[in-house]
Structures are given as C-alpha cells and as structure tokens.
C-alpha cells in the first residue's frame, strides 16, 4: 500500500475516537486534543498519563464492541490486540471512516506524519510508514532550518495581505505587491530585525503600491 496524497485536516470540533488506553493511545489522544477534536477513548483501563487528561475527553470504559464507532469522523486503533485492531479497521473500511491502525500500515487509510510547526507553517514528513526513525531525523534537520521567524513571517503576510485586498483595487498591482513582499527574504530580515521593524518595511512597500 502506498500513501501518496498529501493532506492536512481541520479537526476542530470533529468527533474522533481512539480505541486503546496505553502509551500509543496517549500520544494519539494528545495530538487530537491539541487540534481541538472532540475525543472519545474506548478502553477498559487507562494508563496514568491518560487518566490525568480524563476531563478533556469522553471515556467509554469497556472493551471495543461493534457499533461504538458510529458518528466518528476519524478513528485510531491503538489496542495491544491484533484481532481487535483488525476488526476496527474492517468496520472503518466498510463504513468509509478514516482509520489509523497502530500496528498495521496496510490496514490504515491514513498515516500520522512527523511534522515541523512554526506558527501557521506546517511541514509534514512521511516515509509511507516504512521508517518513523528516518522521519524523525528529517524533522530534526528541518527544525534547524525553519525557525520561529517563519511563523512570524506568515503572521506579517496574513496581516498585509488583508490590507492589500482593501487598499490595492487593481488586481495586477496587488499581485505585483505580493510578489515583491515574497522577494524581500522576510525570514532573513526577521533574524536581524524585530518583527515590528519588518512590519514597517512591508507596510512602506504597501503604501508605494496603494498610493
């Protein structure tokens, strides 16, 4: 099985279910909660770390039973029982629900990629589930290359793009302005100057196009 279609998901308010209560389930629950998902955990027991987060998700204190996944947007099978994970994967395939199976790349419909995050910048790294260790190594390299200045850059661009839409009515000039900002090497400037100073540079450029 190959995983070739890159995609990012908005999980804000989406119903996501994790089956399992151990260390793998913990990592999955934490990542889903960070994205604002409405999380349900199905497991007869929880590890101590998951218990500490219990007020942030719904706990169905039972072994997995068919029918418990109804209404899920996304499911993660993270039990230590191969047969259970297989049953979950099969149900999700039959009901067209996205599923990640912790112990079976072949039964998963999606993989959770290693990622570098700097504000709105998100760089996903995938080896198709073949080598998580290689994904981690690449992520560490990229973290050195793409520092916090890239997040600040996107904040500046989001702000000035909104202003440009209001102030530059000519579409061609607006496109030229946005290209000129892209050519300014904002990450390099942000390594040398404050965010406020760089914002002033960009707004000065904007005034030359909107005047």
State the CATH number of the domain containing residue 80: 3.40.50.720
Residues 60 and 142 in one domain: no
Range of the domain at 95: 1-112
Whether residue 1 is predicted with pLDDT greater than 70 in this model: the reply is no
Question: Confidence band (pLDDT; 50, 70, 90) for 211?
Answer: low
The answer to whether the beta carbons of residues 44 and 62 sit under 8 Å apart is yes
Rounded Cα gap, residues 176 and 113, in angstroms: 35
Residues 177 and 106 in one domain: no
Residues 26 and 68 in one domain: yes
The answer to whether the beta carbons of residues 86 and 106 sit under 8 Å apart is no
Over residues 75-127, the pLDDT tens digits come to 999 999 999 999 999 999 999 999 999 999 999 999 999 999 999 999 999 98
Residues 4 and 95 in one domain: yes
pLDDT at residue 179, as a whole number: 93
Residues 62 and 13 in one domain: yes
pLDDT at residue 25, as a whole number: 98
Of 112, 135, 167, which residue is a domain's last?
A: 112
Residues 171 and 107 in one domain: no
Residues 119 and 75 in one domain: no
Q: Determine how β-strand 74-77 pairs with β-strand 15-19.
A: parallel
Residues 102 and 170 in one domain: no
Residues 120 and 134 in one domain: yes
pLDDT at residue 64, as a whole number: 98
Over residues 4-48, the pLDDT tens digits come to 888 899 999 999 999 999 999 999 999 999 999 999 999 999 999
pTM of the model: 0.82
pLDDT at residue 20, as a whole number: 98
pLDDT at residue 2, as a whole number: 74
Of 121, 146, 171, which residue is a domain's last?
A: 146
Residues 8 and 73 in one domain: yes
Of 91, 112, 133, which residue is a domain's last?
A: 112
Residues 89 and 170 in one domain: no
Number of domains forming the structure of the chain: 3
Residues 3 and 65 in one domain: yes
**Cα-flanking dihedrals φ and ψ of residue 41, to 5°?**
-115, 130
180 exposure class (CB count in 10 Å sphere: 0-12, 13-18, 19+): middle
Overall average pLDDT of the 59-81 stretch:
97
């Amino acid at each position: 099985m190959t995983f070739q279609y890159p995609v990012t998901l908005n999980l804000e308010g989406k119903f996501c279910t994790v089956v399992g209560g151990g260390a793998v389930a913990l990592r999955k629950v934490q990542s889903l909660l960070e994205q604002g998902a409405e999380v349900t955990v199905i497991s007869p027991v929880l590890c101590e770390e998951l218990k500490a987060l219990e007020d942030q998700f719904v706990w169905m204190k039972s072994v997995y039973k068919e029918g418990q996944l109804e209404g899920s947007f996304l499911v993660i099978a993270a039990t230590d029982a191969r047969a259970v994970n297989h049953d979950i994967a099969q149900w999700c395939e039959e009901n067209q629900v996205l599923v990640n199976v912790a112990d079976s790349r072949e039964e998963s419909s999606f993989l959770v990629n290693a990622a570098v995050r700097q504000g709105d910048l998100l760089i996903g790294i995938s080896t198709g589930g073949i080598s998580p260790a290689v994904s981690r190594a690449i992520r560490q390299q990229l973290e050195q290359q793409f520092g916090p200045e890239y997040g600040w850059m996107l904040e500046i661009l989001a702000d000035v793009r909104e202003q440009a839409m209001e102030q530059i009515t000519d579409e061609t000039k607006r496109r030229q302005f946005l290209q000129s900002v892209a050519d300014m090497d904002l990450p390099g400037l942000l390594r040398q100057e404050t965010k406020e100073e760089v914002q002033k540079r960009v707004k000065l450029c904007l005034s030359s196009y909107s005047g």
